[in-house]
Structure 1
Amino acid sequence: MRLVHIATLSAVAGVTVAKPRPHVHRHAHGVAQRAAQPDKVVYAPVTIETVVKYVLDGHDISVDDVRSGLANGTLEWGPDGNLSVSAKAPAALATSTPAPASPSQTAKPEPKGQPSEVKPKPEDKPKELAPDPAPKPSNSDQPSQVDTTPHTADQLVDGNGHCASCDKEFPNGKIPCSQFPYGYGALPINQEGLGGWSGIQDPQYRGGDGFDDITTTVSGSCKDGSCCKPGCYCSYGCPNPYLKLSFPKKQGRTGQTVGGLFCNDQGMLEMADGSIGKTMCGPGSSSMTVKVQNKLKKSVSICRTDYPGTESMTFPLTVGPGETGFLASPNQSKYFFWNGGATSAHYYVNKQGVSEAEGCTWGKEGEARGNWAPAIFGTSFDDRNSHMGYSSLKQNELNRAVPLDYSITFTGDGINSACSYKKSTDQYCEGGNCWRVKDQPDRGCTAATKSGGTLTLILHDD
């Protein structure tokens, strides 16, 4: 005979993307009360009853039969901790097959007798009646074992551009919002001072026509990450060449974007309802590869925008002298759409020697870093029409007066109309056609990459 615990629920609640475009950045300071989400699922706590049942040879028996059997010797404790028919007994304990219980009967507790109330005769010396050990939680009950050690982008991605931890499915509702979800490929953005988050957004207006009055937590205001609270979208970085996959279906009604994991009403993290995968990060297009090779004497930090999200240029790729790194390039049909149009990955290209912490965050006019970096690079793969990759380079329209202090040349097999920037003449070129920035400050160059091709940006001196 075995003892069975049954938990029953008594209540349940139920584009043209080749040319990089400037993003409008809106910052709302402070924290305000969030409005209700009329179209969100409300999770209500449930009441749980515990039902104790005694089973012998597959049939239920009453607590009185258990007591009687222990008292008269017809039942005894086996070496495995279960009750069984005593070998010394003259006959087996008679049992009857109970009628199937209706749903309403199943929810009712069994007779009030509890295991601790069983008091056998002293001479029988049975073991203390106790419930079976609680079953170990399954993988669906708790996150699988992951390495929660913080890693840099170089540690997350191998030499082939693969991020093993990025392949791990995110465990919705298992990680508290106050804890950055290490171990699932996400890259902590420490320079933002938000506990690893790249941005935290809390829309005050959540109507059917979109979000508005979006409060964005000020950088540096909660280094422990405690600002990621119920109702907020907590954004995160993904190491190149991977892209963020979690963002809500609903976006800003006046063009703002929102992205990241959602902190639900129980204070637990989950993938947002518009997510395009079950993992936090996913690889860019498999139809083209984009690399950066540094032939300079100093490191260069190239910073991708948190998009959709705060649109801050916080996702870093830093390549040291002699190093090569990857950049993410999305498929146009499979990534985020803005106002019905496909989007590209958007990067700010800093001067050499500008650190990652200084270059991959908001800058100030005159500093020539961050959103004021001299150049902008954009890339995506058109998997809908031309089946070509498109990558562009141009002067940052916020900073037309400050040029890069090195040259950039696009190289690779299957590249048409390769782009370049020449530091010595301050010229951008597309194929053999060149122009000076001072003459055409808003003009950029665009190169096409055939499917299966690799585009490499060579950073070099003239």
Structure 2
Amino acid sequence: MKFTNTVAALATAGLATAHGHGHAHHHKRAAETETVSVPGPVVYDFVVMDPSKSGSPEAISVDDACKGLAEHKFEWLDGAIAAACPSSTTSSSTSTATPTSTSTPAPTSTIAPAILQETAAAITPASSTSTAEPTSSSTSSVSTAAATSSSSSSSSSSSSSGATGLDADFPDGEIDCGTFPSEYGAIALDYLGLGGYSGIQYVTLIDDLVSDIVTAVTGDECHNGAMCSYACPAGYQKSQWPTTQGSTGQSVGGLQCKNGKLHLTNSKHKQLCIAGVGGVHVKNQMSTDVAVCRTDYPGTESETVPLAASSGNTHPLTCPDGDSYFNWEGKATSAQYYVNPKGVSTEKGCQWGDGSEAIGNWAPINLGVGYTSSGKFLSIFPNTPTTTKKLDFNVKLVGDNLSDECRYEDGTFYDSNGAISGNSGCTVGVTSGNAYYVFYE
């Protein structure tokens, strides 16, 4: 189905403090008994579909997109993001929140795409987003592509070393909770001190909803009642999360520890790690390695899933299929990555920082990677308001079919029109082929 004019709003959320999340999570601390909950603000970036360029999306300002909504020239096609504009009315929701409102923050780990279409009688409304799983043949081809791309990466990468059993079915309810499932594709992150897990959530259930979540700290264990999340190799993502999610929008993910054994929480997948849609990579052209850290989502939403982008090599980034992967409150989600300064190890950069250095959740730059039926949407944006530090190298997007230019150079963001007003980042669409985040000096 071809639309005359569609707009995609990509919503990304930064971290408010060193221990803040986009949703309300409680964080257990070694020397304290109290818990805290700090939401992060939401920033929106819009692109418009131009039919004269075969549907390739182009950048559009927030003001123009919101004006189009206010004048009823546009309407939401998929999930509405009511807080994206000062006043955007849809058939399902009305909001007067500003774009930086924290009243309904999006997940810190994702871009939440929402599509607008021109309000014309000749345009047929799109059907609801499909959540059907990919066919076995398409899944096989995606897995092969991800595996091939991963094999071209440096063997020294801490994010992909030691991965075995990617295709093995997980023996539901047979493995002790204290035994990390490394023989089934998961990557042990021993540096976090959580028994190899990327995050552990102790949850309280009330009336089939998670009413309270306490996030484990170093030294805690995966024990009865815990949701135990895990990392997968580059190009892959965890397949496990329960239907039951947080009562106030928090995300929950991983295997469940029940009666001392690990249990699957998503019956659609028997393997712990599944491939993304492929076609998105990091290419490090510098002489120094870079730690690129993905948020553990759905789950703790902390940036603990590591990719060591080694010097001179190309590595796959996981791009979730928004039509079949985890949905947040009915909306498609995608991946968010934190880019650390050059030379920072994944062991140091892919965990919570204390603000004394521009690393971890204080890293200067974020990457957003998402996919829906409209295509891939890739972004580079600052990690504000958490930090105003500048990255000590440059990042640009290159590829076969990009809708626009997007680069971060010497601390400033640029698109095809030059420096971006407000220095708020940039987003491009990818209709086909490969795209690369290039790190250069």
Q: TM-score, normalised by structure 2?
A: 0.65
Q: Specify which of 269, 273, 276 is matched with residue 262 of structure 2.
A: 269
Contact preservation (8 Å) 1:330, 1:344: yes
Residue ranges of structure 2 left out of the alignment (5+ in a row): 1-6, 15-21, 34-146, 155-159
Match of 1:346 in 2: 336
In 2 relative to 1, CA 357–16 (structure 1 residues): closer, same or farther, beyond 3 Å? Answer: farther
**Residues 221-276 of structure 1: CA deviation (Å, up to 9, x unaligned):** 14xxxx211221111011111011101101111121111111122x111111x454
Determine helix, strand or coil for the equivalent of 1:165: coil
Give the structure 1 partner of residue 293 of structure 2.
303
Residues 278, 310 of structure 1: CA spacing in aligned structure 2 closer, same or farther, 3 A cutoff?
Answer: same
Asked if 1:159 corresponds to 2:152, the answer is: yes
Partner of 1:404: 391
CA contact (8 A) 2:153 2:314 kept: no
| Partner residue in 2 for 1:315 | 305
Q: Which residue of 2 aligns with 1:257?
A: 251
- Residues 229 and 218 of structure 1: is their aligned pair in 2 closer, same or farther, counting only changes over 3 Å? same
Residues 403-459 of structure 1: CA distance to partner in whole angstroms, max 9, x if unpaired?
111111111101111310011xx2111233322xxx615x221011113x1111110
Q: Compute the displacement of 1:28 (Å).
A: 3.3
Distance in 1 (alpha carbons) for counterparts of 2:170 and 2:405: 39
Q: What corresponds to 1:207 in structure 2?
A: 207
Counterparts of 1:48-447 in structure 2, within 5 Å, are 157-159=150-152, 165-208=165-208, 210-219=209-218, 221-222=219-220, 227-265=221-259, 267-272=260-265, 274-286=266-278, 289-383=279-373, 386=374, 388-423=375-410, 426-435=411-420, 440-441=422-423, 443-447=424-428
CA distance in 2 between partners of 1:377 and 1:18 (Å):
12
Residues in 1 aligned to 2:240 and 2:227: alpha-carbon distance in whole angstroms: 10
Could you say if the C-alpha distance between residues 166 and 17 of structure 1 is closer, same or farther in structure 2, counting changes exceeding 3 Å? farther
Superposed CA offset, 1:76-95 (max 9, x none): xxxxxxxxxxxxxxxxxxxx
- How many residue pairs end up in the alignment? 307
Counterparts of 2:263 and 2:251 in 1: how far apart (Å)?
A: 18
Measure, in 1, the Cα distance between the counterparts of 2:389 and 2:320: 29
CA distance in 1, matches of 2:310, 2:249: 37
Indicate the SS of the match to 2:249: coil
Work out whether residues 282 and 314 of structure 2, in 8 Å CA contact, stay in contact via their aligned partners in 1.
yes
Deviations 1:129-158 (A, max 9, x none): xxxxxxxxxxxxxxxxxxxxxxxxx99942
Q: Give the aligned residue type for 1:277.
A: H
Amino acid at match of 2:310: G
Aligned to 1:448: 429
SS of the residue aligned with 2:166? helix
C-alpha displacement of 1:204: 2.1
Query: Tell me, which stretches of 5 or more residues in structure 1 are unaligned?
Result: 1-14, 33-153
**CA deviation after TM superposition for structure 1 residue 207, in Å:** 2.3
Task: Measure the CA separation in 1 of the matches of 2:185 and 2:150.
Answer: 9
SS at match of 1:257: coil
Match of 2:13 in 1: 21
| 2:414 alignment partner, SS class | strand
Q: What TM-score, normalized to structure 1?
A: 0.62
Report Cα offsets for 1:286-342 as digits up to 9, x if no partner.
Answer: 5xx111111112110000000011111011111121111110001111111111111
Confirm or deny: 8 A CA contact 2:363 2:387 kept in the other structure: no
SS of 2:430's partner is strand
Query: What is the rounded CA distance, in whole Å, between the counterparts of 1:433 and 1:377 in structure 2?
Result: 20
In 2, the alpha carbon distance for the partners of 1:418 and 1:279 equals 38
Q: Measure the CA separation in 1 of the matches of 2:244 and 2:384.
A: 30
Opposite residue 309 of structure 2, the aligned amino acid is V
CA shift, 1:19, in A, is 4.2
1:440 aligned counterpart, secondary structure:
helix
Distance 1:174 1:406 in 2: 47
State the secondary structure of the residue aligned to 1:357. Answer: helix
Tell me if structure 1 keeps the 8 A contact 2:236–2:273.
Answer: yes
Letter in 2 for 1:369: I
Higher relative contact order (CA 8 A, sep 6+): 2
Alpha-carbon distance in 2 for matches of 1:430, 1:191? 38
How many angstroms apart in 1 are the aligned matches of 2:149 and 2:378?
25
Distance 1:261 1:166, change over 3 A: same
Which amino acid is the alignment partner of residue 445 of structure 1? C
Work out whether residues 29 and 215 of structure 1, in 8 Å CA contact, stay in contact via their aligned partners in 2.
no
Asked whether the equivalents of residues 291 and 346 of structure 2 are also in contact (C-alpha less than 8 Å), the reply is yes
Q: Is the 8 A contact 1:348 1:373 kept in 2?
A: yes
Give CA deviations for 1:66-112 in whole Å, capped at 9, x if unaligned: xxxxxxxxxxxxxxxxxxxxxxxxxxxxxxxxxxxxxxxxxxxxxxx
Q: Which has the larger radius of gyration?
A: 1
Alignment root-mean-square deviation, CA: 2.7
Letter in 1 for 2:385: L
User: What fraction of aligned residue pairs are identical, expressed as a percent?
Assistant: 37
Partners of 1:167 and 1:16 lie apart in 2 by: 35
Deviation at 1:366, TM superposition (A): 3.5
Q: 2-side partners of 1:16 and 1:253: how far apart?
A: 28
Partner amino acid, structure 2, of 1:254 = T
